[in-house]
Amino acid sequence: MLRARAGDREAFAAVYRRHASRVMSLAWHLTFDRALAEDVVQETFARAWHAASRWDARAPLSAWLARIATRVAWNETARAWWRRARPGRAGAEAALSTRAHAGPPPDAFASAGEEAARLRDAVAALPARLRIAFALVRLDGRSYAEAAELLGVPVGTVKSRMAAAEERLRRALGAREGPRSDEEAR
Amino acid sequence: VTPPRAAGDLPAEDLVARALGALPPAEAAALDARLARDAAARARYAEVEDHLARYDALAAVPRPAAPPAERALAGLDARRAGAPAWAALAAAAVLAAVVLLLPRPSRSPEADPVTVAVEGARLLRDGREVAASDARAGDVVVAPPGVGEAVARIGARTTVALDPGSEVRILSGDESELRAGAARFAVAPDPKAPRVVARADGVRVEVTGTRFALERAGGEVALDVVEGSVLVAGVAVSSGERWTFAGGRARTERPVPRSPRVSLSTASPEGARPVRLRLRVENPTAAELPLPSPDDPRGPYYLEVTDPAGAVVAVRVGSGNLEGDALPSRLRPRGVAEATLRTEATFARPGTYRLRTFFLGRPAGPAAPGGDLEIVLR
């Protein structure tokens, strides 16, 4: 990365090849949308290249990239989630939002089953601040401290967001599953 | 966030943290002791733990592969070289046109073979000629100078005719980039193939097939659409139109058929402070957008759009940092320079509109104009 910071394009390509997979994993867990995740990866490295002089060589490069990716993903998705939460106010744009965030291509979840798709939809409906925290910790396997670092918030904030996310998700899934359970009981 | 309460006086956030193994050992031990003697709390904890365990199914969904480096990093040089912002945007836009026109692969790009056939052209890798049967992403098709037109077939649907001395770089099986000279692209329609080309920010673009030409000369990129229509940074360019991108400007010789529209919106939840505003510019065909980059070191900025009478019809403020600042640092195939809407200001009055960008600077100092945008309605 030191050579990339000096403008060495090939060195930066090597950085990309080494870290892109991990950034893609993070972007995927934050979006569950292949096209959006690819956009996040591309934009993350574009910003890293552009702002390479700001990278502190004493800090892990992976953490720096993850921080950028988290912010990019937040920016990419926050508006749509906000619209989705207020479908009645967004007018015609609501349809676009729903379409854009209907999830990844069907093949990505086809083999994962209905449960994964149901969980994805529930997570997608969370407010952005809760969704991002939940995705970082529960889906991408980050610790509370790592998530706090990526989000630029205290660990306590991550802790409270995780609890709020868990409660909302449990309620959402419980509400959806109620009628089905009744049918099964019959 | 107001933390939900668990059974008794146990904070739910501790239960969630315990279930995720995120509670410090001493706190975990204390919580475990409490759970051991409190059946209600134990039942609540089991509920949380069971619920969180369900997400193993979601975390285990296989993720797609990252885009290959050749494609992901294709537009970097212009940005790093200190070129004018629009120059980088225009270059990205033209590249986006190529990318947009070609179908997105239905599986991982890294797994896609690069099939190339050349006639009258050479295929080079790091300056050495390679056989077309050995083609890889990153290889360059070169039409020798002084010879007739060369042809390259890239993937199953794209045919590129190169002028002598022109170069086309293959980014993947269905993406390519004109590096020098001039080339004409033809993309065959294929009703069986996935027709989704790009999906972002609520905009879905479908391309069934078209013909267009790109030319690079003297720092200028020219786009001629021969048949059908193409998208450049989300702007539809129809057959018969010719566009040029150079020196931070995008020009067309034909009148812009539609009025550009600017939408102003708040991007913050109701009641939240500070309120964030977003500006959406649709169809910026006659526009030169001096949009600041989120990485711009000049600090917070303020955008203001005035109508021909000088009245402010839209404003935008930005923090200049990454978080919460969704201005794209490069144009993308989404049909807008930025999105979100609540209220709209439509450029209905004929005349010249002006977008002024003010960078407020650090430390605070006199505001400096960041650039103007003039939209001329005909």
Nearest-CA distance B29 → chain A (Å):
18
Chain B residues within 8 A of A71 when measuring between CB atoms: 322-323
Q: pLDDT tens digits, residue range B160-208?
A: 777 888 888 887 666 777 788 887 777 665 555 543 232 222 222 234 4
Question: A150 CB near a chain B CB, below 8 Å?
Answer: no
Tokens of B57: 């199914």
CB contact under 8 A, A41 and B72: yes
- What is the rounded radius of gyration, in angstroms, for the C-alpha atoms of chain B? 26
Q: Provide DSSP, A34-95.
A: HHHHHHHHHHHHHHHHHTGGG--TTS-HHHHHHHHHHHHHHHHHHHHHHHHH-TTTSTTHHH
Taking contacts as CB-CB distances below 8 angstroms, the residues of chain B near A94 are: none
- Residues in B closer than 8 angstroms to A51, CB to CB, are 295
Cα atoms found within 13 Å of the Cα of residue B160, Cβ hemisphere only: 34
Contact residues on chain A for B5, CB-CB shorter than 8 A: none
Question: What are the backbone dihedrals phi and psi of residue B164, each rounded to the nearest 5 degrees, phi first?
Answer: -55, 135
Q: Give B324's pLDDT tier (boundaries 50, 70, 90).
A: very low
String of b and e for B102-126 (b: at least 16 CB within 10 Å)? bbbbeeebeebebebebeebbbeee
Hey, are the CB atoms on B13 and A9 less than 8 Å from each other?
Answer: no
Q: In the beta sheet, which residues pair with residue B315? A: B304
User: Does B153 have pLDDT greater than 60?
Assistant: yes
The answer to whether the Cβ–Cβ distance between A160 and B267 falls below 8 Å is no
| Residue A172 in contact with partner chain B when CB distance is under 8 A | no
Distance (Å) from the alpha carbon of B80 to chain A's nearest alpha carbon: 6
Residues B16, A159: C-beta atoms closer than 8 Å: yes
pTM, whole model, 2 decimals?
0.43
Q: Which residues of B touch A68 (CB under 8 A)?
A: 322
Residue ranges in chain A modelled with pLDDT below 70: 1-3, 5-7, 53-59, 75-112, 175-186
